[in-house]
């Protein structure tokens, strides 16, 4: 394979990956690896694709192959980090993503990759610093703008998130993550029709995008009388962070126990029973709600089946 053909193949692979056409990207990478089985970059990109295809063990195999071939490549360490995240080895992933960032300290994408790992570890301060660094390095990078918007939205600042989503879409109107962020902002504001339009727009660009499918499932949950309350509760709790959420749950349990004891001491055993039944119902609802939502997501994912030549 000549250098010109290889360059063209890589261009097509990267374009397919950006548009979410992962099967086409895999086909291109297989052609490259057929000509050169020791191409570390191809193995690294294949690892990224396999993560997207929900094949974590295969992704880790490809990432290890790439690391063996070129241990000094930041792209290879990035691929290893993402593969390890897919295999739920977060601390090990963090080390590789830090190494990738250290190899390319001026890369906004490497900072964003590392920020994502810290977010999964619920290390908010590090996440904020890295996203801010990414925006400093590339102020017009849509991925960095969207990452900042997601942080604002998760913190309950819908207006700031909306402004960042609009900024990203002005730079790249077809950016899927920006469309999803805008849809989430609309949904949080109660604009269900607008949220649905953004979800459809994102899915028209990539019918397999998990974020867009989650958005569509969230819209359906918001409209469902049973899941609507859970969706609002889950959103409210997420805005407060895991630490505050635990304190709120512990506080609610203490209030429940105090209410029961006061009712018993006052001789109102029937009231105590009612309080206990209400508490039990709330507990069951908060357990069942996530299961029903995940079932709705799996249903949406099951409806998506693309031909390999799509």
Q: How far apart are CA 139 and CA 219, in angstroms?
A: 31
Q: Which two tokens stand for residue 211?
A: 């974020």
Q: What is the structure's pLDDT at 242?
A: 55
DSSP reduced 3-state for 12: helix
Give the other-Cβ count within 10 Å of 252's Cβ.
12
CA of residue 15 relative to chain centroid, distance: 21
**Residue-wise DSSP of 242-265:** HHHHHHHHHHHHHHHHHHHHHHHH
**What number of H helices and E strands is found in the chain?**
16, 0
Q: What is the structure's pLDDT at 297?
A: 54
Reported as a single tens digit per residue, the pLDDT across 267-299 is 777 777 777 777 776 676 566 666 665 665 555
pTM of the predicted protein model: 0.70
Residue 93 has pLDDT above 50, yes or no: yes
pLDDT band at 302 (very low <50, low <70, confident <90, very high): low
Closest CA to 147 of 132, 166, 137, 126: 132
Closest CA to 130 of 172, 101, 161, 154: 101
Q: What is the structure's pLDDT at 233?
A: 59
DSSP reduced 3-state for 73: coil
Residue 140 has pLDDT above 60, yes or no: yes
Among 180-189, 258-267, 271-280, 296-305, which stretch is predicted with the lowest mean pLDDT?
296-305
Residue 244 has pLDDT above 80, yes or no: no
Q: How far apart are CA 203 and CA 67, in angstroms?
A: 34
Q: What is the structure's pLDDT at 307?
A: 42
HSE-up of residue 179 (Cα within 13 Å, Cβ side) = 23
Residue 145 has pLDDT above 90, yes or no: yes
Reported as a single tens digit per residue, the pLDDT across 197-239 is 998 888 887 777 778 888 887 787 777 665 555 556 565 556 5
Q: Which two tokens stand for residue 275?
A: 């309080």
The pLDDT mean for the chain works out to 83
Give the other-Cβ count within 10 Å of 298's Cβ.
12
Q: How far apart are CA 267 and CA 162, in angstroms?
A: 53
Q: How far apart are CA 192 and CA 67, in angstroms?
A: 46
**46 near 75, Cβ under 8 Å?**
no
């Amino acid at each position: 394979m000549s250098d010109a053909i290889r360059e063209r193949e890589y261009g097509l692979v990267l374009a397919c990956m950006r548009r979410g056409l992962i099967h086409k990207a895999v086909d291109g990478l297989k052609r490259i690896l057929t000509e050169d089985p020791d191409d570390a970059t191809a193995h690294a990109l294949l690892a990224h694709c396999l993560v997207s295809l929900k094949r974590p063990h295969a992704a880790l195999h490809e990432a290890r192959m790439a690391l063996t071939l070129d241990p000094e490549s930041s792209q290879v360490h990035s691929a290893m980090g993402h593969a390890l995240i897919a295999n739920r080895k977060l601390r090990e992933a963090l080390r590789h993503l830090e190494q990738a960032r250290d190899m390319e300290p001026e890369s906004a994408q490497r900072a964003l990759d590392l920020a994502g790992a810290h977010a999964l570890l619920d290390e908010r301060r590090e996440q904020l610093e890295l996203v801010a660094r990414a925006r400093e390095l590339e102020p017009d990078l849509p991925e960095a703008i969207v990452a900042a918007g997601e942080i604002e939205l998760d913190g309950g600042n819908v207006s700031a998130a909306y402004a960042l989503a609009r900024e990203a879409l002005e730079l790249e109107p077809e950016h899927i993550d920006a469309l999803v962020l805008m849809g989430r902002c609309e949904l949080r504001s109660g604009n269900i029709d607008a949220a649905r339009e953004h979800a459809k727009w994102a899915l028209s660009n990539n019918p397999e995008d998990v974020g867009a499918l989650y958005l569509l499932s969230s819209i359906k949950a918001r409209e469902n009388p049973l899941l609507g309350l859970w969706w609002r509760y889950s959103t409210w709790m997420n805005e407060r962070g895991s630490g505050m959420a635990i304190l709120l749950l512990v506080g609610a349990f203490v209030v429940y126990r105090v209410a029961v004891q006061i009712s018993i001491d006052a001789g109102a055993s029937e009231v105590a029973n009612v309080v206990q039944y209400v508490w039990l119902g709330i507990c069951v609802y908060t357990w069942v709600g996530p299961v029903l939502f995940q079932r709705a997501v799996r249903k949406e994912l099951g409806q998506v089946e693309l031909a390999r030549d799509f």
